Structure 1
Amino acid sequence: MAITVSDVLNAERLKNMKLITGQGGLDKVVKKVGILDYEFINKTEGQFGEGDFVISSFLFAKDDERLFVDSVKSLINDRVACLAIKNVYYQNLTPEIIEYADKLSFPIFLFDNSIFFEDLITDITDMVRADNRDQLTEAKIDNILQGSMNRTTVREAALEINKYFRENFVAIYCVEKKSGKDRNIFMLLKKYKDAFKNKCECVLKYKNGILAIITESKIDKDSITGTAYDFISDSGISTEDFYVGISKLHESLNEFDYGVNECLYAVNAGEALSQSITFYNDIGLYKILLPYINKHWMKDFYESLVKPLQSYDAKYSAEFLKTAVAYIDNNGNIKDTAEALFQHENTVRYRIGKIKEILSMENDHSFYEQLSAAVKIFKILNKEYMN
């Protein structure tokens, strides 16, 4: 995950920066920070590049508004990420610049004396460096999860990520419930890293969430729950906003790939089950389904049961798939299913019978088992259905 302009704005010391124009460019990637100063009066163009977070007071253009406008336009031509202006000489922007920058989704900010250039440089540089380290670690983890390493090599690769890892570990993964929501995973991550300096831990951005590896010389199996909840509490992660998946306890780094996969599977199962905190040991059939969810045979099985219901629903404006999901969610209990759907029990019985007919499974004793597996796969692959 790369650092964006939006991420920078959420840094604690930089929150007072005011966006003037170019809101559409807040997702631009920031690669480094640069200062536009007087020495660039006649040669601003080409001095910066894509991904630069440029800051300036525009001292060199304090008496020449045309020079100010031309300098901003040249930065846009250089495809820098954004521009932050200290409002010493320019407290307001001309309508020309506001309209031009907004049209090209180029963010321009104003900030006052409460923010120093040094703060901007330090905070942005630290964020970019941390992100680069996390990206390297993420690549190493991806390599481990490919499954091509033997057990000894897995352990060696884990120690490349953190040489202070101890043998006993638990893996925890946290992902936002609503990916479109304007949350700042980076700042939650920084908060955790700043608060805890335990060398035998590893906490980083992984994919679209936060991955934590908690290791100890000895972890009591009965204390895994406490370890997980301590991490959630200490890191400031709200279970109202995040799904959290926890692996089982592993007593050897040889099983590092198992532990990471387990917490990822636990999160996926938690999303399907609409529960905030999910332990891998508790996900049942999902342990079998999730590792093979993208295989052809899994898709073929799933579609053979779900598509006929979807087609029937579309043709007759029915809701047999919804009934099937509720039936499985309630463990095949007719009464509980009826209550969940606000229907009479006889109606549910009729609809279950109809589902068997649609699927040509009237006399198939494995109907419930197959439907249960198909519904679980459906919920994994169609998370929007569950929200």
Structure 2
Amino acid sequence: MTTSTPVPARGEDSPVRIQARTDEHLSRGLWLVKWLLLVPHLVVLGVLGVAFWVLTVVALFAVLVTGRYPRTMFAYNVGVLRWGWRVTWYGYGGLGTDRYPRFALDDRPDDAARLDIAYPGRLSRGLVLVKWWLLALPHYLVLALLVGAGGTIVGRVGGGGAFGTEGGGLLSLLVLFVGVLLLFTGRYPAGLLDLVTGIDRWVLRVVAYAALMTDSYPPMRLDQGPQDPAGPLPGDGPDRTTAAPAAGAAEGRGGQALLTRPEAPPERVAAAPLAPPPAGRAVLLTAGAWALLLGLAGGVAGVVDTTGTGSVTGATGPGATAVALVAGGVLALAGAVLIAVGARSVGGEGGRR
């Protein structure tokens, strides 16, 4: 007797899952002032977004050396993407909910916008050098039309996707139509919902790929609809029975579990679910990323000042150059230490069980 291997459903092998849910009743006019309500989130996400990309560069070198993405940094960056996605869906990247997004890196089943990325066991050392620019280039060109050139990658992570107007792409026009229809009908058109979620899902898949979080090449298609074709996220549907015990254990420690999908291939996902880094470690990673960036910028300023123009630091001469180089080096070293401490395996704190 022979058994046939089931054929995966469309998109089932994707390590990135994006889900969006609309409110049963949406306000007709709240979207007109959401730009003001979003300001606190955009300030925080601006800081976190810079840290996200600095840590991505650090992860690039880690993958080159070890073939692995540091686990705690991965959990942190997934958290930033989740936060940004909630803000985008609330704001002008979707207008799908009137529930104010949480200021948090974790994920909850009752969030209107949810995102999950399977943690990769190992990543290709060669692909890490080319996938974020060369291999992703076709996606960048298409997404420049769909969301605007400024909203394809950096703007989405930094919270700019909340406005959906970075480059005047198709998404901006669709969301404007949604706002006008909400104003007059109070309903979110199903057809526009499918298109908006499809574009947002495409963008986030490319962000995850460009941020080196997966080697799985994002499909060049619009997987439309609120539910991801790859299946439910942890805490939804079939995953709920598996996710609940782990989430309960995390809550007992005062945290929220960042659950990977149990049905994902074992070579891509560790046996134990991830937990988001504790608040202290998240602060260390953010502060370390900024210190590293500012330190490197100070070093570059010192090199530029060797011309004697004083155009960068406001001083001239070798003394000022030496001060800039030393200060930049110390700050960058301090940032690297903070990142190293923050990225250590959380072990007994819930990173591995």
Under TM normalisation by the shorter chain, which class is it?
A: under 0.3
Task: Give the number of the structure with larger relative contact order, counting CA–CA contacts within 8 Å between residues 6 or more apart.
Answer: 2
- Normalised to the residue count of structure 1, the TM-score between the two structures is 0.22
- Normalised to the residue count of structure 2, the TM-score between the two structures is 0.24
Q: Who wins on radius of gyration, i.e. which is larger?
A: 1
